[in-house]
Amino acid sequence: AQKVTQAQTEISVVEKEDVTLDCVYETRDTTYYLFWYKQPPSGELVFLIRRNSFDEQNEISGRYSWNFQKSTSSFNFTITASQVVDSAVYFCALSEVGSYNQGGKLIFGQGTELSVKP
Amino acid sequence: DADVTQTPRNRITKTGKRIMLECSQTKGHDRMYWYRQDPGLGLRLIYYSFDVKDINKGEISDGYSVSRQAQAKFSLSLESAIPNQTALYFCATSGKGHPEYEQYFGPGTRLTVT
């Protein structure tokens, strides 16, 4: 069965520190997609990144970077030089592909609440 | 204008009342989803619909029903609300054949059942 685990429930850092949010997933599919979403205090879900299972290249976008390792079934998210505006709940999610009638559903981790203090 | 809208944004209701949450999208997507978010549990899938005539139960469908009135509209009903249905509810859409299966989320509906 598919499962996403974010073992870190809450993380607190001081501004300008680097922080890594862990995500471990389980799936029997060979083709799948992984996502990260940000949920700021206002409550909406903000899409950050998607990665398909055939692309293990790490990605960097400004202060954000993602490390995808199929060997350890992990898709970790690092924020460099954190800022107060990064304070939010971050969700990792897995999407099944499968057949037409099965693909597309998202399985979310429990979320990690990041607090960046000035 | 937002691509995925949800009404109402906030609702307080009493135990036993019937309530409907509505979702509309202008993205032209065929797939629509309802999720519920509880603290510490992430988002869990309630129902999903891959087209107007295709509706499927998700992980936690008990106590909920849905209606896909049109490609652009997907409603979630609580027939007899109970306090443990207090949660943040999200509607999402995705496109058939979209290579990355990316879902687009509405702003959420915060429901409180007293």
pLDDT on residue B32: 93
Cis preceding linkage at B8, omega within 30? yes
- Select from A45, A94, A88 the least CA-distant residue to A68: A94
The whole-number pLDDT of residue A37 equals 95
**Which chain A residues are Cβ-neighbours of B45 within 8 angstroms?**
105-107
pLDDT at A95: 87
Check pLDDT > 80 for residue B2: no
pLDDT value, residue B97:
60
Instruction: Look at B50 and A100 and tell me if their CB atoms are within 8 Å.
Output: yes
In DSSP notation, B28-41 reads --SEEEEEEEETTT
Chain A's closest residue to B48, CA to CA, is A105
Residue of chain B minimizing CA distance to A89: B42
pLDDT mean across residues, chain B:
92
List chain A residues with pLDDT less than 70. Answer: 97-104
Question: What tokens were used for A103?
Answer: 């693909």
B13 token code pair: 């209701």
Of B33, B101, B108, the CB nearest to A44: B108
- Per-residue pLDDT reduced to its tens digit, B75-100: 999 999 999 999 999 999 987 665 55
What single DSSP character describes residue A32? E
Q: A110 vs B103: CB contact, 8 Å cut-off?
A: no
Is the separation of the CB atoms in A62 and A49 below 8 Å? no
pLDDT of residue B96: 66
Q: Write out pLDDT tens, residues B55-77.
A: 999 999 999 999 999 999 999 99
Closest CA to A106 of B20, B55, B48, B97: B48
Q: Which amino acid is at A19?
A: V
pLDDT given for residue A109 in this prediction? 96
Convert the pLDDT of each residue in B3-51 to its tens digit.
999 999 999 999 999 999 999 999 888 889 999 999 888 999 999 998 8
